[in-house]
Structure 1
Amino acid sequence: MNASDSWAPLVITPQSAGVEASSAGLLEVVSDTETVDGQLVKEKALIFRGFGVTEEELEAVMDELLPNRLAYVHGNSPRTKVGKNVYTSTEYPQEFTISMHNEMSYAHQWPARLLFFCQKAAETGGATPVTDSALWLESLDPEVREAFRGGVCYQQNLHDGYGLGKSWQDTFETDDRAEVEAFLENTGAAWEWRPDGSLRVRQVRPATAVHPVTGTEVWFNQSDQWHPAGLGDDTAAALAQILPADELPQSVTFADGTPIPDAYVIQVRDRGLEAAQDCDWRTGDLMLIDNMLVSHGRRPFTGARRVLVAMSD
């Protein structure tokens, strides 16, 4: 039995919950916050299916499941804000896989919960894979786990409006440098404004984390997404021709500044995906995940697909 066979999200339907198949029925389920909180810790991810929720009805559900919705400040992936701290899922070309990650695990603070809502399912593909982050850690070779024990150092080069990657204005949802500096002062990061108006941010973070409720140690970093090797040989080669490693929009080393071997990064990326269970979206589905206990990604797809995401502490 492989790792992905030993865990899967809990699917909750109107039939299993004993309520009507409507947004009112779902509200009846999620308003029992004590039960939902307990289920989420135990099951790590909950899929609400068959309730027929529309985008117009989403706000009331989010108020129950995410009472303190967070802005995506210091987020590194491209998204569009579509409501009160509600965003599109990562806007990455649909023909590519997005590898497994815990949202904002590179940051000094990260959301505790994520809620995904499928407004429109893809024609084909487009699943959101989810992986038990403890199983991901266990799946790595001892040599790799030991190498990451000292943590990692992330670097962002955020342009001033034109260039590769995200601008500092989009990243911090402001065009006020003072607001950016005030935010960064509380993060333990080192930063510098560069002559071209761009912002360089460096921060050292642990590679694993311990869940505050369960005490479980989990793989909790985005080294494979910040490392060129995690993007594939062709993309990495193309980036190397355009920019030196120190000038890439984002990059990562071990905490002491030594390079992370390509083979380690590829093992991390591939084993996270191998351990994943796919949430094959149906329009109207919602999925609530514990962002420490579960990582997520995205499978390639065809046709139109619209999945929204919100997060809370």
Structure 2
Amino acid sequence: MSSSFPASSPALLDLDLRPGRPPVLQADSVGGMGWDEYRDALRAAVVRHGAVLVRGLGLRDAEDVADVFRGLATTLMTEREAFASRQSYSEGVYSSSTWPANQPMCMHHELSYAVEFPSLMMFACLGAPTDGGATAVADSPTVLAALPRGLVDRFEREGWLLTRSYNDEIGATVAEAFGTEDRAAVEGYCRANAIEFQWQPDGGLRTRQRRAAVVRHPLTGQRCWFNQVAFLNEWTMAPEVREYLVDVYGPDGLPFNTRFGNGEPIGADVVDLLAGVYDAHTVREPWQAGDLMLVDNIRAAHSREAYSGPREVLVAMADPMRAGA
């Protein structure tokens, strides 16, 4: 990680540890701690547990959230290679991804398909939905241990492959994903980030990138299931959505899809198995307005559950790491 903890152990926080939900910290329980000590203790707790939800900070607006995000992180990232659009509130502070409220966003590790990805995810709730909408988490070493050995071995040997098709009609556009529409700049980014690319006759862009599916945590050494194999796979889409997209764009023109590292398709049975293991190890806590949640992006996967009613959750991707570093 970009940041490091001091040689002396940070103060232990009084976390509420209950089965079925992430550790919860009441903000008033650390009233006697200075900001530096609070930051170090909180970051250490996130590494230890994978995620911590802080309740009672009283976050009221995007400015409050940005101040807290910048106080807890060493570096806030500018997102590249997004798969869905976001609103930008300030530098490094975004809305959650644009995604239908009635469709869950499955478990994933943010930007695990990128060469540079955040080691820390930060979420802040300014408006809680009336029902659902939790940012749930799953411990990736536990998920890895629960997966069939043969499947893990294959992914460790081959990695996984992400294919993307960019157009102006569905998913993130080239400009949203790469921060520019200039072809030379896009091509330069792809070459620098181990992404194969091909421009289509209609001006669209198709890309392929192969990444590791299992990595070691840089601080703990734990082996972690770290990828977006299930989330970005065609079989995770609602059947009617998948059928429509295949009919319109063809099987190779989906906005995103995943394959085994050797290029072979991943079947619905594998996606269902991954989803089932994630479900068995998911913990959640309903959002309350003013909540802050920190997630170790390598140690824990996160999801966004379907919801009803307005939901406003701000996001920051922090302290970048490079694959293999």
Q: Does the CA-based 8 Å contact 2:85-2:172 persist in structure 1?
A: yes
* Aligned partner of 2:152 among 145, 154, 179: 145
Q: Deviations over 1:197-249 (max 9, x none)?
A: 21211111111111111111111111112221112433333333223221111
CA contact (8 A) 1:102 1:221 kept: yes
* C-alpha RMSD of matched pairs (Å): 1.9
Partner of residue 261, structure 1: 267
For normalisation by structure 2, the TM-score amounts to 0.86
Q: Residue 198 of structure 1 aligns to which amino acid in structure 2?
A: G
| Partner of residue 30 from structure 2, selected from 12, 17, 23 | 17
Alignment check: 8 A CA contact 1:78 1:166 kept: yes
In the TM superposition, residue 263 of structure 1 has moved relative to its aligned partner by: 0.2
Letter in 2 for 1:36: L
What is the rounded CA distance, in whole Å, between the counterparts of 1:221 and 1:254 in structure 2? 12
Question: Aligned equivalents of 2:312 and 2:22: distance in 1?
Answer: 21
- Residues of 2 paired with 1:141 and 1:74: CA distance? 30
Counterpart selection for 2:131 from 124, 132, 155? 124
1:133 partnered with 2:140: yes
**Greater shift in the superposed pair: 100-109 or 238-247:** 238-247
Q: Post-superposition shift, 1:12? A: 1.4
Counterpart secondary structure, 1:196: coil
2:314 counterpart SS class: strand
Distance 2:190 2:153 in 1: 30
Shift of 1:308: 0.6
Q: Contact 1:95 / 1:302 at 8 angstroms: preserved in 2?
A: yes
1:309 matched to which residue of 2?
Answer: 315
Pairwise mapping of residues 1-313 of structure 1 onto structure 2 (< 5 A)? 8-19=21-32, 28-29=34-35, 32-55=38-61, 56-149=63-156, 150-159=158-167, 162-312=168-318, 313=320
1:97/1:299 contact within 8 Å kept: yes
What CA deviation, in whole Å up to 9, does each residue of 1:144-177 have, x standing for no partner? 3233231111111112xx2222211111122222
Match of 2:9 in 1: none
Identity %: 30
Distance 1:273 1:134 in 2: 14
CA 1:192 to 1:31, structure 2 compared with 1: closer, same or farther past 3 Å?
A: farther
CA 67–43 in structure 1, closer or farther in 2 if over 3 Å, else same? same
More helix by share: 1
CA offset digits 1:101-120 (Å, max 9, x no partner): 00011111111111100010
The Cα shift of 1:14 comes to 2.8
Q: TM-score, normalised by structure 1?
A: 0.90
177-186 or 92-101, larger mean C-alpha shift: 177-186
Name 2:8's counterpart in structure 1: none
Once the 2 structures are TM-superposed, how far is the Cα of residue 278 of structure 1 from its aligned partner? 0.8
TM-superposed deviation, 1:264: 0.4
Contact 1:66 1:311 in 2 (8 A): no
8 Å CA contact 2:76, 2:316 repeated in 1: yes
The secondary structure found in structure 2 opposite 1:163 is coil
In the TM superposition, residue 261 of structure 1 has moved relative to its aligned partner by 1.8
Distance 1:140 1:250, change over 3 A: same
The answer on whether the counterparts of 2:96 and 2:314 sit within 8 Å (CA) in structure 1 is yes
Measure, in 2, the Cα distance between the counterparts of 1:163 and 1:233: 19
Unaligned 5+ segments in structure 1 are 20-24
| CA distance in 1: counterparts of 2:310 and 2:193, whole angstroms | 38
Paired AA for residue 132 in structure 2: G
Provide the rounded CA distance (Å) in 1 between the counterparts of 2:310 and 2:166: 30
Q: What are the ranges of 5 or more consecutive residues in structure 2 without an aligned counterpart? A: 1-17, 321-325
